[in-house]
Amino acid sequence: MKYLLISLPLLLFACASFPKKNNLERINSDTPAVINPYFSDLSMDYIYKAKINFAEKSFGGIFVIKKLGPEHHRVVFTTEMGNKLFDFSFIKDEFRINFILSEMDKKILINLLRRDFTILINENPIILQQFQTLGDSIFFKTRVKNNTYFYLRVDERLHKILETKGSKEKSDYIFSEIENDHAGKIKIRHKNIKLTIDLKAI
């Protein structure tokens, strides 16, 4: 009984939600028209030098995202010599593999890339709740494909997206060197899986 009483608060804390664990205060506020503007311009080709590390493999090259329509993006990753590593299409809720290198053709990697790029190109996810820190930072709680994400905005700019489960972070998407709705650097980190993606605009 003694050990049960000691462990109960720890258990309750471990099961706490992400907002409670991080002392976020729920608020009612206007939702911005576009939460994630970084791949929303039809007139732009978003081109990055990229490095993708998965397990013991490392892939480097040129990463391009092109918005082709209101709910249509093309995501292409090539070597610096122009040889394709993968080529994906996202059309509304449809995901299409136009090409993928056999070395990257792993179900777990494809599913992770599909989820990561879905988040990158999702401009206006459905907002479930809004929270605020002691400063001016705003967190938008969203749900995308049955996964929970918190979008962190500071000074009206999206700086980070956190995928959470309960109180724990599963992955994060960090945007920096932001200018005119364009993120110069993007880092994606998975906490329990050996997958990292680093993008630097060129």
Give the range of the structural domain holding residue 116, as residue numbers without chain letter: 18-201
Q: Residue 80: is its pLDDT beyond 70?
A: yes
Q: Phi and psi dihedrals of 30, rounded to 5?
A: -65, 140
In a domain, 40, yes or no: yes
Residue-level pLDDT at 15: 45
In this structure, is residue 2 part of a structural domain? no
Q: How many helices (H) and strands (E) does the chain have?
A: 3, 13
Q: What is the count of structural domains for the chain?
A: 1
Q: For strands 84-91 and 147-154, give the pairing.
A: unpaired
**pLDDT band per the 50, 70, 90 thresholds, residue 4:** very low
Q: Give the whole-angstrom CA distance, residue 199 versus residue 202.
A: 9
Instruction: Report the CATH number that the domain containing residue 100 is assigned in CATH.
Output: 2.50.20
Residue 11 located in a structural domain: no
* Mean predicted confidence (pLDDT) in 36-40: 96
Whole-model pTM?
0.86
Q: 199 pLDDT exceeds 70?
A: yes
Instruction: Specify if 189 maps to a domain.
Output: yes
Q: Is residue 7 part of a domain?
A: no
Please tell me the predicted confidence (pLDDT) of residue 5.
Answer: 38
Higher pLDDT, 200 or 132: 200
Q: Is residue 157 pLDDT above 60, yes or no?
A: yes
In a domain, 5, yes or no: no
Percentage of the chain surpassing pLDDT 70?
91
Q: Flag whether 44 is in a domain.
A: yes
Asked if residue 43 is part of any domain, the answer here is: yes
| Secondary structure of 133-195 in HEC code, one letter for each residue | CCCCCEEEEEEECCEEEEEEEECCEEEEEEEEECCEEEEEEEEEEEECCEEEEEEEEECCCCE
Q: Are 89 and 98 in contact (CB under 8 A)?
A: yes
d(CA 89, CA 85): 14
